[in-house]
Structure 1
Amino acid sequence: MINWLARSAMVTFYPRSEQFPGIDEMPLDEYLARFKRESAPLMWAGFVLGTLFFHLTPLFTVFIPLPAFALSAATRERHAQRLSSHRIYYVRQPVFLLKMIAGLLWGADPAVRSRLGLAPYPADPGTWRRS
């Protein structure tokens, strides 16, 4: 369930555009499984709380008493923008954590890196996992 909610939020933050692929075109389910397995428990807890926070707060940003996944695309985008630019740090931070984790996948994608004029990353050797 949390993966479905996280996917919904991440697609809101990193949609497809004319220049770049959307995060929904990337191996998001595999990434989330690996992130859960490899991240510290506190980081995973922050990610889960950020995901829930994003979906449960539209009442306070767009004044609609529905979870974010039930909003139209335009309203969900407005909700995301208002949360991301809120004047209170503690409102912005859970959303920042969610966007950061999604951005790690999106920014490492070879198609995105190519569009930015960067070489693709080499395959992950997995060395830190063995140390």
Structure 2
Amino acid sequence: MSSLPILRLLLLLLTAHAPQAQGRPLMTSLTEEDVNMMIKEIKSILPKPPLPPQEPLDVNEIFILTNEAFLRQNLDTFLEATTNLPPDNGMKIKKILEKLKETISSAPMTTEEPISIEKGNLDDFVTKMTKYLYFLQNYLKKS
């Protein structure tokens, strides 16, 4: 009788009980404090308009920005729109938004069109992003 199957079993058991790698633990989920800090950081990166927005958001845009069903699609739209921002700001905001994406991975989705951001219109991006971040922060407090 061969002892090979027993050796394989022992090896399997030993690997299952092997000590975990030491070092910094992987971040599997963000805390509310992490999210608040990331939102605050995005707000600090966004340029401050000298005047109120030229065109305020219409009712439909407000609905899309503050509806849970659009949360993930809107985030994707903002991620895409960061390519039209000044490179330093765009990359910083994009990195933060990508981290925030994991916090809303279980949010409901709709098949309707998400928010649209006028290409090259920084004021449009800032206005909609500010409204979206406010809603995102409140949504995550409820979750």
One fold, TM greater than 0.5?
A: no
TM-score, normalised on structure 1?
A: 0.30
TM-score (norm 2): 0.28
Q: Based on CA coordinates, which of the two structures has the bigger radius of gyration?
A: 2
Which structure exhibits the higher relative contact order, with contacts defined as CA atoms closer than 8 Å and separated by 6 or more residues? 2
